[in-house]
Structure 1
Amino acid sequence: MSSSNSKPIRLGVCGLGGYARVVLKMLQAAADKFEPRFELVAACDLDLAAHGDLTPVLKDRGVSLYENYAEMLKHPALDVVWLPLPIQLHAPYTKQAVAAGIAVICEKPTAGCIDDLYDMIKVRDESGQPVFISYHTIPHSACVKAKTLLMEGVIGKVQHASLVASWPRHLQYYNRNNWAGRLKVDQTWVLDSPMNNALSHFVNLVLYLLGSSFDAWADPCWLDVELYRANKIENFDTVCAQLKNCNKTTAQVILTHAAKKQFGPELKIVGDQGVMWWEQDRIRIARHGEAVEVVYEHGDDDIAMRLSLVKSAARFIYGMPADGVSYTTLESTIPHMKVVCGASEATPVYDVPAEFTYTYDDPSNGPAVAIKGFEEVISACSDGGLMLHESGLLQFAKPHGSIDLTDYVSFAGPAEYQAISTNG
């Protein structure tokens, strides 16, 4: 598209429920705040009648409404579609749009497996249409500040990062649709998990901050991983992973949805001259021999934090320079997808025995399952750089699986599937 700022980017949103509501709020909050700007001209949902609170408002704003995605793509004034959709639809809907000559903003994660990601790249290249992936942490000022400081060497040569997060998820969360906690929907991989959904922003952020240049993501070459499930789901709700990257940096990631206490994401980056702590509202550093110093703070609420995403997406779709941030392209998300698929391929998901879990009642969301004492285990493993089974604190823990990710380009399927295939 032309880089002239006089013409708005005419946008269609696919979906009116769930996260699509957040997208619509973001677009409204961003209206007329910067150029280029989006103009919402179309929206589609398979069941418009289910959104009777919203459809009259959109009609009054002149937005064309559809119950068929293919029909919306025929809208005569459509430049780009935003896809806040279930994971299994990211690849096919992206490919359908770019093949029709329409640019795409696709929600995270990019796809359910790395094969779908490479297929998206192929179809995008054939069409020439831009595809932007919506990881909202990357264009926010906190991330930009952190990456800039790291590139300036504020803590010396970056060596290691550790990410821990406990984001409880209740039973209703896993029962809300046909893909939550699933490995596959029909014949399409989704690999839904903390690592490939709710906390994927921060796994991607770790890889970005460990990248050797401002616009580079670290490329994982080796993965050790343990996967567990306390909930009655197909995939895991708890993961401990250790990464070795091709640029000689390392990372540890411990995430769970099966705990009662919410904390994190807590991201610590270690260099040979100091330490940086990235948090969602501030950045702290401590150089060797010096006190901890707060070097950045912000008071943005959730929507305000996402305005930078809208601005970045608009500039990317327009073909404009990134203006001091890094664009998240399809290629940018290959490292994350390598980790997600590699984890599933490297080790089975082990059930947490019932005697090591308990059920509690969340006043807002109903019953939820938690692993006993897991919050303390996270801290001990993170502080000591230990895998869960190495800590000796979890009787049910199993030795980790490992996988070489150096030339990893295709998903062979989860370890459980491979075992069935081998033995069958």
Structure 2
Amino acid sequence: MEEVGFAVVGVRNFADSYLHNLEELEAEGKMKLTAVVVKDQVKNAEKVRELRHKGIAIYSSYESLLKDAKNSVDIIGLPVSIPTHAEMAIEGMKAGYDILMEKPPAPTVQQLDAIMKTEKETGRFTSVGFQFIHSNTIRKIKQFILEGKLGEIKEIAAKGFWPRFKSYYDRNDWAGKSIEMGKLVLDGPMHNAFAHYLNNMIFLAGNDMQSSAALKRVRAELYRAHSYIESDDNSCLEAETTTGTKIYFYVTHVPEKLRHPYMEIVGTEGKIEWHMEEEKTKIELNNGQVIEMDNEGLNPHQEVFRIAADKKLGLIEELYCTPENTRSFTVAINGAYDSAKKIKAIPQDLVEEFTNDEGEYQTVLKEIDDLIDQAFAERKLISDLEQVDWAVKTEWINVENYTAFNPFK
């Protein structure tokens, strides 16, 4: 078996996790890190020396990698900024490489469609790094649903409470931005930090192991509590698939207390509860049967690389996560912005900004935890809770034939 050569663009932030995962996976004999793009080799001099000592080629630009790395690189990993995903993936495929692209795949559905068009034209593939689509629990849950054991899926709901400090928004030029250098970013919680959990729900509602559900309509509310960012940091969404399943999503970066994502899947024959932390899953069927499972020790972050390598080696026919089966996720995000029309600033007298005990500058929206819990329990958006006078009602957007998102029109 030949080893698949991987290149990674970047060495900092999430790119560092790519390098770490590939280093650990090399012992399995399927893949090898062979090249890295490091633009600022002075600032990253120590890392450059370490990589060169291991025999890894260093390139100063993406363009030079594309031109000169064909003898050693098969798949290029792109843990890069959100607004560059589509352009860099397309350039890479046209240059003759397969692509492993970090989530979210692209800010707009038309960019995602351009990636799929390039796949067909070049015969190359793009795998998307939504790691939970590669996890045992999500795939087992989907198989359980496809076997009809949960009956007809009526609704899927998820919520998550992750504080994001000023250091998070200061880590790069596009964090917390809706637009950066004239390009859409849409760096809100639904499109970035919590993107996995929206994508999970849409995937689980799909009609086979390769497909996500097609969406009929979307309604969403986008709010901002942080005083120094422009994107949303507190968001909720409801959607309906073309087969009638309802999807509900509630996420915040300004909670009073950190809580990891939790998902409920409700069918006519029972309910599934999934916890992101340790991927604990509990299935309770109407006949009294209770099934519990976890991820069986599989690291889904590393499975992303294994599946891309297996596809390249011809060991599997289908990638797990692709531009095609993440298209509905992108449609949901674009439809959410169309529905909300604008990001609503929350009155600052309801917001606390302070330096916490860890020395991080933190923003908290008072009582948001209880509001999200109530909205989740009642399957309502925040504006549907009568006591929330800062919330704004929004309109349903039909997305059945959605082909373009343009907030500048």
Relative to the length of structure 1, the TM-score reads: 0.91
Q: Does 1:327 align with 2:323?
A: no
Q: Does 1:253 align with 2:249?
A: yes
Structure 1's 367 and 300: CA in aligned 2 closer, same or farther, altered over 3 A?
Answer: farther
Q: CA deviation at 1:279?
A: 1.6
Partner of 1:59: 52
Q: Distance in 1 between matches of 2:167 and 2:271?
A: 39
Worse-matched range after superposition: 223-232 or 50-59: 50-59
Q: Distance in 1 between matches of 2:125 and 2:191?
A: 23
Map 1:294-313 → 2, pairs under 5 A: 294-298=291-295, 300=297, 304-313=299-308
Among candidates 271, 274, 299, match of residue 275 of structure 1: 271
Tell me how large the CA RMSD over aligned residues is. Answer: 1.7
Q: Does 1:393 align with 2:391?
A: no
Q: Does 1:167 align with 2:162?
A: yes
Q: CA deviation at 1:263?
A: 1.1
Partner of 1:263: 259
Map 1:67-216 → 2, pairs under 5 A: 67-73=60-66, 74-75=68-69, 76-216=71-211
Map 1:281-296 → 2, pairs under 5 A: 281-288=279-286, 290=288, 293-296=290-293
Q: CA deviation at 1:254?
A: 0.6
Q: CA deviation at 1:186?
A: 1.7
Question: Is the CA contact (8 Å cut-off) linking 2:311 and 2:319 kept in structure 1?
Answer: no
Relative to the length of structure 2, the TM-score reads: 0.94
Q: Does 1:362 align with 2:356?
A: yes
Question: Is the CA contact (8 Å cut-off) linking 1:132 and 1:317 kept in structure 2?
Answer: no
Structure 1's 400 and 259: CA in aligned 2 closer, same or farther, altered over 3 A?
Answer: same
Number of matched pairs: 403
Partner of 1:317: 312
Q: Deviations over 1:131-167 (max 9, x none)?
A: 1111100111111111111112222111110010111
Question: Is the CA contact (8 Å cut-off) linking 2:4 and 2:74 kept in structure 1?
Answer: yes
Question: Is the CA contact (8 Å cut-off) linking 1:124 and 1:131 kept in structure 2?
Answer: yes
Q: CA deviation at 1:326?
A: 5.8
Question: Is the CA contact (8 Å cut-off) linking 1:170 and 1:365 kept in structure 2?
Answer: no
Question: Is the CA contact (8 Å cut-off) linking 1:172 and 1:365 kept in structure 2?
Answer: no
Q: Deviations over 1:13-69 (max 9, x none)?
A: 100101011111111222233x6x111111012112222332222111110101111
Q: CA deviation at 1:289?
A: 5.5
Worse-matched range after superposition: 332-341 or 276-285: 276-285
AA partner of residue 349 (structure 2) = E
Question: Is the CA contact (8 Å cut-off) linking 1:138 and 1:326 kept in structure 2?
Answer: no
Question: Is the CA contact (8 Å cut-off) linking 1:66 and 1:72 kept in structure 2?
Answer: yes
Q: Distance in 2 between matches of 1:382 and 1:260?
A: 17
Among candidates 327, 337, 344, match of residue 350 of structure 1: 344
AA partner of residue 328 (structure 1) = C
Question: Is the CA contact (8 Å cut-off) linking 1:139 and 1:309 kept in structure 2?
Answer: yes
**Percent identity of equivalent pairs:** 23
Structure 1's 393 and 166: CA in aligned 2 closer, same or farther, altered over 3 A?
Answer: farther
Q: Distance in 1 between matches of 2:275 and 2:291?
A: 11
Partner of 1:243: 239
Worse-matched range after superposition: 238-247 or 149-158: 149-158
Question: Is the CA contact (8 Å cut-off) linking 2:256 and 2:367 kept in structure 1?
Answer: no
Map 1:394-409 → 2, pairs under 5 A: 394-409=388-403
Name the SS for the 1:267 alignment partner: strand
AA partner of residue 103 (structure 2) = K
Name the SS for the 1:78 alignment partner: coil
Q: Distance in 2 between matches of 1:330 and 1:319?
A: 19
Name the SS for the 2:132 alignment partner: coil
Q: Distance in 2 between matches of 1:326 and 1:72?
A: 25
Q: CA deviation at 1:375?
A: 0.6
Q: Distance in 2 between matches of 1:297 and 1:77?
A: 37
AA partner of residue 141 (structure 1) = N
Partner of 1:22: 17
Q: Deviations over 1:360-384 (max 9, x none)?
A: 4333461111110111111111111
Name the SS for the 1:22 alignment partner: helix
Name the SS for the 1:47 alignment partner: coil
Q: Deviations over 1:200-231 (max 9, x none)?
A: 11111111111122222011110111110001
Q: Does 1:336 align with 2:345?
A: no
Question: Is the CA contact (8 Å cut-off) linking 2:151 and 2:269 kept in structure 1?
Answer: yes
Partner of 1:421: none
Q: Deviations over 1:69-94 (max 9, x none)?
A: 11112213221110000011111111
Worse-matched range after superposition: 390-399 or 359-368: 359-368
Q: Distance in 1 between matches of 2:97 and 2:337?
A: 33
Name the SS for the 1:176 alignment partner: coil
Q: Deviations over 1:281-305 (max 9, x none)?
A: 21101112527x342024648xx33
Q: Deviations over 1:244-299 (max 9, x none)?
A: 111211110011111131113111000001100112321101112527x3420246
Question: Is the CA contact (8 Å cut-off) linking 1:112 and 1:188 kept in structure 2?
Answer: no
Which consecutive unaligned segments of at least 5 residues does structure 2 have? none
Structure 1's 316 and 364: CA in aligned 2 closer, same or farther, altered over 3 A?
Answer: farther
AA partner of residue 362 (structure 2) = A
Q: CA deviation at 1:392?
A: 2.1
Question: Is the CA contact (8 Å cut-off) linking 2:281 and 2:293 kept in structure 1?
Answer: yes
Question: Is the CA contact (8 Å cut-off) linking 2:78 and 2:102 kept in structure 1?
Answer: yes
AA partner of residue 192 (structure 2) = N
Q: Does 1:42 align with 2:47?
A: no
Partner of 1:3: none
